[in-house]
Amino acid sequence: MAWVNDIIQGILLGGLYALFACGLSLLFGIMKVVNLAHGDLAIVGAYVATGVIAVTHVQFLWSIPIMIVLMAAVGYVLQRSVIQAALSKGELATLIVTFGLSVVIENGLQQFFTANSRSIGTNSSLLSNSFSLGSQIPIGWLPLGIFVVAVIVLLALQFFLSRSKYGRMIRAVADDREAAMLSGVNARHVFGIAAAIAFATVGLAGVAYGMSGQFSPSDGNSSILLWAFASVVIGGLGSLWGTLLGGIVLGVAELIGAQINPSYEALAGYVIFLVVLVLRPQGLTARRSQS
Amino acid sequence: MTVTGEATLLPGAAPRVTRSRRNVWWTGIVALVIVVVFALLPYYVYAGTTAILDQAFVILTLACMWNLLAGYGGLVSVGQQAFLGLGAYVMLILAMHGVSPFLGLPLGAIGAGVAAVPLWWLVSRLRTGYFAIATWVLATAVELFIEQFQSIGGGSGLPLPGLSGFGPTLLSAYTYWAGLAVSVLALATVYFLLRSRVGLTLTAIRDDETAARSSGVKVGLARGLVFLVAAIGCGAAGGVLAIQQLQVVPQTSGGVFSVQWTAEMAFAVIIGGIGTIEGPILGTIIYMVLQQTLQQYNVWYLITLGLVAIAITLFARRGLWGLVDEHLGVRLFPVGYYLWPASRAKQP
């Protein structure tokens, strides 16, 4: 029964990882930008949400849409300024710029908010409660809620990219930038929109992370970026649902690892990542092999 | 250093190929003098000064290696801290069995190199951004793996044994010389490696990978060699770091597995000038100046360093040495060639 419990909890944890991975996958898929500041930006999202609560005294749930709007604005501005400038200078430049942003953000947060951990006060007893499935499998409302949010975000992204006008433009620019621009698409603006959406999901991921436990400035890389990346690689590049599968594989591996020995939790996740990297570098869901 | 081509047919009109636009034979002598002066420093200055220089040697070694990786090999690694850590931990394990850390230092570097072989196999098929994060994941996995062993300190680290036999003055002098030797070796290795056929191969890959591959250049082999050399160099730097700190700590406060090391080496290279031998040296000097002036403001030096690196990437992508090179045409350590067009070859 303990194993069944691990698998179910692992699947729910996978939802959180898929949420982490969304923004990373989106930016890479559309702009070929590997955003090394991804994890730190998620932590920024968590700080923004707590900041909004502290300043405006709104209910916790209302702080999320405000945070999403703020993060989207940050995404648009960062894309139109720094990231776009780096994009035109090649891959090394985007890596250095995003890595630089990562270091600046992490140390900046540490400077202004100290290195102490904090948590997002939800003031909601529902989120800390759980119901039980059968007799021995407790399911927390929070992990379940995060999983559902992750699925909703993935569905919304898929719908947006395949059906909406902007989604079509984003895909056009991702496929062939010059041709899209010749047809009258403002590629920079489209990239900005894509970055805004990616950053909104990144902020959401940060809030989910902050609600699941505690967060501190140094969590961005070790707890978010690397897991997001592992989910993307396990699931297969460029596939949104593959990312969810990758997150679930990671989550299950971690909980089973923890069942064997509590100190193997994170290590088990990395081992499964390496195994996939060796045996199936194109990821679990990829249809054609990546060169 | 002048390489005359088929110049004999048309005297005075043939193109000439030299290593640098200006003759820089004197840099070898100056470099030698500088090394000798640095080597004699412990006899004349206080231990506080040599301790600052120790840090500079670590950063210089790391910067040289990262420059080789990213600037010449096209491998943007964010996981070099894995090799820093492995070098330090091999040294620690040897020291626990009675091997002097100063002998353990080269052995630790070799250990890091040995570990680099399977790690290279894992990441070799990834490119650019994916390579960057994958190396980061690997470094974290290596760290977690090592932290599983409580006998070598687990997650909190251990003091480095085998250093108590030295007096404080002698120890700081030995540490300094070890750091100097490692950084001079690192510079020399990168310099001569790039002047050799390997350097030519790497330049070919950098300019056009597909063309190089189809001309029979063993792209994977050249990159693997670069990865291996960088691992050994970073392992040696990790050893010097551990001797300086008198302990091996995995993560907290400047631990050997901290990604901060990769940030520092990368930023030093970017600021100094990526893809030149002089860049890392200049970058290390700027790094040390920033670090010494801002050190009382806690993490501000890292923030400043990051912002400067971003600005340099966007506005002067060849770094500060690139600006020098552009205006003066000087390469102190030339590894490429300069082609003099035929019409100008008459000039002496």
Q: What is the pLDDT of residue A290?
A: 41
* A-interface mutation test, from B274, B291, B299, most A Cβ less than 10 A away: B299
Domain ranges of chain A: 2-219
Residues of chain B neighbouring A111 (CB-CB closer than 8 A): 298-300, 303
- Asked whether the predicted pLDDT for residue B15 surpasses 90, the reply is no
Distance between start and end Cα atoms, chain A: 42
Q: Strand A137-140 vs strand B158-159: parallel, antiparallel, or unpaired? A: unpaired
> Residues B132-178: pLDDT tens digits?
988 999 999 999 999 988 888 888 888 888 888 888 888 889 999 99
Percent of chain B with pLDDT over 70: 92
**Cross-chain CB nearest to B130 (options A34, A99, A226):** A34
- Asked whether the predicted pLDDT for residue B182 surpasses 90, the reply is yes
- Where does the pLDDT of residue A245 fall: very low under 50, low under 70, confident under 90, or very high at 90 and above? very high
- Where does the pLDDT of residue B11 fall: very low under 50, low under 70, confident under 90, or very high at 90 and above? low
d(CA B272, CA B283): 4
**Cross-chain CB nearest to B309 (options A100, A266, A267):** A100
Q: What is the pLDDT of residue B334?
A: 75
CB contact under 8 A, B76 and A263: no
Residue-averaged pLDDT of chain B: 86
Residues 155-184 of B with CB under 8 A from A: none
The residue type at B42: P
Q: What is the pLDDT of residue A123?
A: 63
- Go through B102-123 and write b for each residue having 16 or more CB atoms within 10 A of its CB, e for each that does not: bebbbbbbebbbebbeebbebb
Percent of chain A with pLDDT over 90: 41
Higher pLDDT among residues B299 and A84, named by residue: A84
For residue B249, the enclosing domain spans 44-261
DSSP for chain A? -HHHHHHHHHHHHHHHHHHHHHHHHHHHHHH----TTHHHHHHHHHHHHHHHHHHH---HHHHHHHHHHHHHHHHHHHIIIIIHHHHTT-HHHHHHHHHHHHHHHHHHHHHHH-S--B------HHHH-EEEETTTEEEEHHHHHHHHHHHHHHHHHHHHHHHSHHHHHHHHHHH-HHHHHHTT--HHHHHHHHHHHHHHHHHHHHHHHHHHS-B-TTHIIIIIIHHHHHHHHHH-TT-HHHHHHHHHHHHHHHHHHHHH-GGGHHHHHHHHHHHHHHH-TT-SS-SS---
**Cross-chain CB nearest to A270 (options B137, B310, B317):** B137
- The two tokens of residue B151 are 């006998």
Q: What is the pLDDT of residue B117?
A: 95
Q: What is the pLDDT of residue A220?
A: 84
* A-interface mutation test, from B136, B137, B140, most A Cβ less than 10 A away: B137
* B-interface mutation test, from A92, A221, A224, most B Cβ less than 10 A away: A92
Distances (CA, A) of B186 to A58, B109, B190, B248: 57, 12, 6, 22
> Residues B228-243: pLDDT tens digits?
999 999 999 999 999 9
Q: What is the pLDDT of residue B255?
A: 85
Measured between CB atoms, does B294 come within 8 Å of chain A? no
**Cross-chain CB nearest to A82 (options B70, B122, B310):** B310
Per-residue DSSP letter, A215: B
> Residues B89-145: pLDDT tens digits?
999 999 999 889 999 999 999 999 999 999 999 888 887 788 898 899 999 999 999
Distance between start and end Cα atoms, chain B: 14
d(CA A186, CA A169): 9
Q: What is the pLDDT of residue B12?
A: 55
Residue B253, in any domain of the structure: yes
Q: What is the pLDDT of residue A122?
A: 66
d(CA A20, CA A225): 8
- Asked whether the predicted pLDDT for residue A96 surpasses 70, the reply is yes
Prediction ipTM score: 0.87
- Asked whether the predicted pLDDT for residue B269 surpasses 60, the reply is yes
Residues of chain B neighbouring A96 (CB-CB closer than 8 A): 76, 266, 270, 309-310, 313
Query: Average pLDDT of A91-105?
Result: 92
Cβ partners under 8 Å of residue A4, min gap 6: A137
- Where does the pLDDT of residue A126 fall: very low under 50, low under 70, confident under 90, or very high at 90 and above? low
Alpha-carbon Rg for chain A in angstroms: 19
Any idea which of A133-137, B72-76, B254-258, B293-297 has the lowest mean pLDDT?
Answer: A133-137
Q: Do B75 and B229 meet the contact criterion of CB atoms below 8 Å apart? A: no
Tokens 């043939």 appear where?
Answer: B14
Opening angle at CA A119, ends A114 and A120, nearest 5: 120
Query: Average pLDDT of A237-253?
Result: 88
Q: What is the pLDDT of residue A291?
A: 35
Measured between CB atoms, does B124 come within 8 Å of chain A? no
Distances (CA, A) of B100 to B50, B107, B164: 21, 11, 11
Residue B257, in any domain of the structure: yes
Q: How many CB atoms lie within 10 A of CB B255?
A: 23
Query: Average pLDDT of A12-40?
Result: 90
SS3 content of chain A, % helix, strand, coil (to 5): 80, 5, 20
Domain count, chain B: 1
CB contact under 8 A, A36 and B274: no
